[in-house]
Amino acid sequence: MASGNFFKHWPTMLLGLIVAVILLTAVFSFQLNQTETAVLTTFGRPSVVSEPGLHFRWPFPFQEVYRFDKRIRCYEGSSGKLEETVTKDGHNIIVGIYVNYRIADVNAFFSKLKNVAGGEEMLNTLMRSAKNTAFGQRNFDQIVNENGKMLKLDAVTDDIKEALISATAKFGIEIVGVGINTLGVPKTVTEKVFERMIAERKQFADKNLAEGKREAKEIRVKADLERDTIIANAEAKAQKLRAEGDAAAAKFYKEFARDPELAGFLRKIDALRLIMEKGTTLVIDTNVPPFDLLKSDAVIPGAANSNAK
């Protein structure tokens, strides 16, 4: 009879046993993921558990588990994460920054800050101080400027990062990166900023215009000099050729001076050769030089002397 009741209720007993095992496992163990590190306290004394998997523990109040994410966290600050700060030359700007960090030393982080909320509260204070200090060391035109060469934002974020690394190292926090997610100016100074930017652009334009005019003048002067040099060389060459021609012509003039009639006759012959070299048909007056040579009674210089001889 008793054995019959046992077999009758064995599914319920098995289910109860499974539930008990599950409860005991949950009470006396904990599961650690790949992305987590845990601090296991035994009567308040901490020890770090970093291996993922199932781990044994005594139930509360003997032991307690505190889990921490090993991955990089992005934190923008809490109170005053978007607030005004003052530059070195006294201008107000609106700045918001973010910090990428991770818990590198869980033991140090837990012993001094207890949890992530406490760590980020401390980090928020350090971020505000480092931000105000870094921006307070730069002039306004190094923060807001259309000329990228004058901007020093990379140097500002580097200064903030170095300050945070130095301040958070003892808390087991590793600062991976720092960035600026918001940057602006209050409405009270916006117009002045625009006026200054317009003045800078006008000054830049005037400078470029003056340089253009100077270069244009230099080009014109150079071109005029080259033109004058070419003209002078050409005139010198022409004078030389004229002198050479005059010298050569002087020899012929000297010969022609001995017999002017022969000189005139030769010039007429040259003129006829040029006119009639293409077989031109002319209707002319033979009394007009040099066509008077075509007349039958044309006088040939020197012919009379030769006949007389």
Q: For the chain, 309 residues long, give each residue's pLDDT as a single digit of tens.
A: 445 555 566 677 667 777 766 776 666 677 888 888 898 888 888 888 888 878 787 777 888 888 999 899 999 887 556 788 888 988 888 888 999 999 999 999 999 998 999 999 999 999 999 999 999 999 988 888 778 888 889 999 999 999 999 999 999 999 999 999 888 877 765 566 666 767 777 888 888 888 888 888 889 888 888 888 888 888 888 888 887 776 776 666 666 666 666 666 666 666 667 766 666 666 666 666 666 666 656 555 555 444 444
Cβ distance 76 to 181 under 8 Å?
yes
Cα-Cα end-to-end distance for the chain = 188
Distances in whole angstroms, Cα of residue 217 to Cα of each of 12, 102, 207, 214: 106, 63, 15, 5
Structure tokens at 259: 């017999």
* pLDDT given at position 147: 80
| Residue 43 CA from chain centroid, whole number | 60
* pLDDT given at position 31: 81
pTM over 0.75: no
- The span from the CA of 56 to the CA of 51, in Å, is 12
Strands (E), 16-165: 29-32, 36-42, 45-49, 53-56, 63-69, 73-75, 83-86, 92-103
- The span from the CA of 142 to the CA of 197, in Å, is 13
- The span from the CA of 299 to the CA of 290, in Å, is 12
| Amino acid at site 200 | E
b/e map 252-283, b = 16+ CB within 10 Å = eeeebeeeeeebebeebeeeeeeeeeeeeeee
* pLDDT given at position 137: 93
CB neighbour class for 199 (10 Å; exposed up to 12, middle 13-18, buried from 19): exposed
* pLDDT given at position 92: 85
- The span from the CA of 86 to the CA of 133, in Å, is 9
Q: How many CB atoms lie within 10 A of CB 73?
A: 16
* pLDDT given at position 199: 76
The two most distant CA atoms of the chain are separated, in Å, by 188
Q: How many CB atoms lie within 10 A of CB 4?
A: 8
Q: Kindly state the helix (H) or strand (E) to which residue 40 belongs, with its residue range.
A: strand 36-42
| Amino acid at site 98 | Y
3-state class of 31 per DSSP?
strand
